[in-house]
């Protein structure tokens, strides 16, 4: 939605205050990860070519043109490897193959090459904290006796109590419930326990074991050899455990938690860096949920990882002050090590922004997810569109989760018997889980499966709502005011504008409920978080706005505009 030139009236003083950024050469392809727009594909729900109701690689292949028209630089596939799907693929049983429901290794190789031809790089997910309980290593461990070499790759321990029927410690799974499951001996008697920080189908690996380290370095090489440009590292701060497995304690000091953010991780990722550096322009991207900025930034030193998701920004409420503080902190912290920032509004784990931003509490926390929280989707959608323009204007990399560009809401009324997410089940059904943001995409047509699957009668792995006809790609492509059109215009401008992507930013001085960021002296993004319309700062042109501007070029509530600033004196 490119809006024609409008004259602005002076109310705010454009006083850019440049922030230090990392020095880099934007023309160098080796630094693509510093400013890329990366699109997250959840393969199960992107597009189904074979009609079985589950997305697949052939489906992605058919939609590559869509991704290239959208204007993304890279795609990140959540795990596409063989998996019993105890956690949507984050329980990998073989890193050197593709889950048969998605396709074949040959198809993955062809897809990586076909995407590259369209200028789109591929990022794959590696899940080093755990494997599937069907992984050959874990199966071998289960069938080997206590104390065997096979069990050393995991965390097997005898239980406490007289009969060993108490778990080895009181650690709690990230999905709720105890983090230990007891095994059975071949004669049927109760055996040792094994650790799983997530679901029981995801046994934790022992990163003190040299084979675990070597295997993962081989997995990186396996995928780099097939042309992938980056690795997204799942649960990157959890791999290393204190071998004594002590209780967590009240408030462990940073770095002293028995399994979060242990110092030994730095060395592990340094060795991954060496592998990545033996290829050209490959990126390592950490999923690091760490609130301490000093600890977080250690992972982004030049010899460790390249970048990490910015969850502080994602969890922020729709509030000018809170978002400004998060942005300032992000830029300052990343500047310390010369790493690029990333900006993320959503992913396959969190409530979709359209739903989140329409609630009374617009922040996100896993522990707060509940059924029946009222939301105003119209307000949510306005804010999500404005937030999109903000994220795409900020310096660094931006992530877009599939369906975000369509303005999809969270599906909050999935039939209980269709739910799959272990987070839901391990909360005894109190937490609705993450299925609501993983519903298959609507591509075309008036009713489910909305072109997701070629068979009208296909039974999708998660059912789509009956009221998504207005949200299909087909419809939104024809509507210049749609969320899809907004994302396309923004991504195109972001690519063309020399100041966007990586680099520095400054702030405009604005009213407290308005944010104004500048890029490169001639570009600004202004977001109105207040209840009343505001006048834009002096500008030559409104390049793009997240919703219709008001008469006289005033910016309505919950709206963002990209403007061209007048040339300086
Ligand atoms: C983070 C992933 O994003 C999430 O989907 C998964 O459940 C956990 N890690 C465990 O692998």
Q: How far is the CA of 168 from the centre of ligand 1 (A)?
A: 24
**What percent of the chain lies above the pLDDT cut of 90?**
93
Q: What pLDDT digit, counting tens, does each position of 190-230 carry?
A: 999 999 999 999 999 999 999 999 999 999 999 999 999 99
Q: Whose CA is nearest to atom 6 of ligand 1?
A: 90
Q: What pLDDT digit, counting tens, does each position of 298-319 carry?
A: 999 999 999 999 999 999 999 9
| Mean pLDDT confidence for 83-104 | 98
Q: What is the pLDDT of residue 29?
A: 67
120 contacts 73 by C-beta, under 8 angstroms: yes
Q: Which residue of 127, 129, 197, 423 sits with most ligand 1 atoms within 8 Å of its CB, as the best mutation to test the pocket? A: 127
Q: What is the pLDDT of residue 568?
A: 74
> 1 pLDDT exceeds 80?
no
Q: Is 294 exposed, middle or buried (0-12, 13-18, 19+ CB in 10 A)?
A: exposed
> 17 pLDDT exceeds 60?
no
| Mean pLDDT confidence for 179-194 | 96
Nearest to 347 by CA among 425, 198, 232, 455: 232
| Mean pLDDT confidence for 504-530 | 97
Q: Which residue of 235, 286, 425, 433 sits with most ligand 1 atoms within 8 Å of its CB, as the best mutation to test the pocket? A: 235
| Mean pLDDT confidence for 122-130 | 98
Taking the CA of residue 175 as reference, the ligand 1 atom at the shortest distance is 7
CATH no. for 136-195: 3.90.400.10
Q: How far is the CA of 351 from the centre of ligand 1 (A)?
A: 14
> 188 pLDDT exceeds 50?
yes
| Mean pLDDT confidence for 410-435 | 97
377 contacts 355 by C-beta, under 8 angstroms: yes
Domain 29-129+206-483 = CATH 3.20.20.80? yes
Q: What is the pLDDT of residue 537?
A: 96
> 4 pLDDT exceeds 70?
no
> 18 pLDDT exceeds 90?
no
Confidence of residue 30 (pLDDT cuts 50, 70, 90): confident
Give one DSSP letter per residue of 60-80, joined into a string: HHHTHHHHHHHT-SEEEEPP-
> 23 pLDDT exceeds 50?
no
Ligand 1 pocket: which residues have CB below 6 Å? 87, 90, 127, 198, 234-235, 287, 348-349
Domain coordinates of the chain in residue numbers?
29-129+206-483, 136-195
List the structure tokens of 99.
Answer: 């889950």
pLDDT, mean over the chain = 94
Query: Which among 234, 261, 410, 502 is annotated as catalytic?
Result: 234
| Mean pLDDT confidence for 177-198 | 97
Q: What is the pLDDT of residue 21?
A: 34
């Amino acid at each position: 939605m490119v809006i024609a030139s409008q004259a602005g009236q002076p109310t705010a003083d454009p006083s850019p205050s440049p922030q230090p950024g990392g020095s880099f050469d934007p023309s160098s392809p080796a630094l693509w990860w510093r400013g890329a727009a990366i699109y997250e594909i959840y393969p199960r729900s992107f597009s189904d070519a074979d009609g079985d109701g589950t997305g697949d690689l052939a489906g992605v292949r058919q939609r590559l043109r869509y991704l290239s028209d959208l204007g993304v630089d890279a795609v990140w596939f959540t795990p596409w490897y063989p998996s019993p799907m105890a956690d949507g693929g984050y329980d990998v049983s073989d890193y050197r193959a593709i889950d048969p429901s998605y396709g074949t290794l040959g198809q993955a190789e062809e897809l990586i090459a076909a995407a590259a031809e369209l200028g789109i790089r591929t990022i794959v997910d590696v899940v080093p904290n755990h494997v599937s309980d069907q992984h050959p290593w874990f199966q071998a461990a289960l069938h080997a006796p206590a104390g065997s070499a096979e069990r050393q790759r995991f965390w097997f321990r005898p239980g406490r109590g007289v009969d060993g029927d108490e778990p080895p410690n009181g650690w709690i799974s990230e999905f709720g419930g105890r983090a230990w499951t007891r095994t059975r001996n071949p004669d049927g008697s109760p055996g040792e326990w094994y650790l799983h920080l997530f679901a029981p189908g995801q046994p934790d690996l022992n990163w003190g074991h040299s084979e675990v380290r070597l295997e993962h370095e081989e997995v990186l090489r396996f995928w780099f050899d097939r042309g992938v440009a980056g690795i997204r590292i799942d649960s990157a701060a959890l791999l290393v455990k204190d071998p004594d497995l002590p209780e967590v304690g009240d408030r462990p000091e940073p770095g002293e938690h028995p399994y979060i953010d242990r110092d030994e991780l730095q060395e592990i990722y340094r060795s991954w860096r060496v592998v990545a550096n033996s290829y050209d322009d490959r990126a390592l991207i950490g999923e690091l949920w760490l609130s301490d900025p000093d600890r977080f930034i250690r992972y982004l030193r030049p010899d460790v990882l390249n970048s990490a998701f910015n969850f502080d920004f994602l969890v922020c409420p729709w509030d000018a002050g809170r978002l400004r503080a998060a942005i300032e902190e992000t830029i300052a912290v990343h500047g310390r090590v010369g790493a690029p920032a990333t900006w993320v509004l959503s992913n396959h784990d969190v409530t979709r922004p359209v739903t989140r931003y329409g609630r009374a509490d617009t922040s996100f926390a896993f522990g707060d997810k509940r059924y029946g929280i009222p939301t105003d989707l119209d307000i949510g959608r306005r804010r999500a569109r404005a937030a999109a323009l903000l994220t795409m204007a900020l310096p660094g990399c931006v992530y877009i989760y599939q369906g975000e560009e369509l303005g999809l809401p969270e599906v909050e009324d999935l039939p209980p018997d269709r739910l799959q997410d272990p987070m839901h089940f391990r909360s005894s059904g109190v937490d609705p889980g993450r299925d609501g943001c993983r519903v298959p995409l609507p591509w075309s047509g008036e009713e489910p499966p909305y072109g997701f699957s070629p068979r009208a009668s296909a039974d999708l792995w998660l059912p789509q709502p009956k009221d998504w006809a207005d949200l299909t790609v087909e419809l939104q492509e024809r509507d210049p005011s749609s969320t899809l059109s907004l994302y396309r215009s923004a991504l195109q401008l972001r690519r063309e504008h020399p100041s966007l992507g990586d680099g520095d930013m400054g702030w405009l001085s604005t009213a407290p409920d308005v944010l104004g960021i500048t890029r490169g002296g001639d570009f600004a993004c202004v977001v109105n978080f207040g209840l009343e319309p505001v006048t834009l700062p002096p500008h030559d042109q409104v390049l793009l706005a997240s919703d219709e501007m008001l008469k006289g070029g005033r910016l309505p509530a919950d709206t963002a505009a990209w403007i061209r600033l007048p040339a300086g004196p």
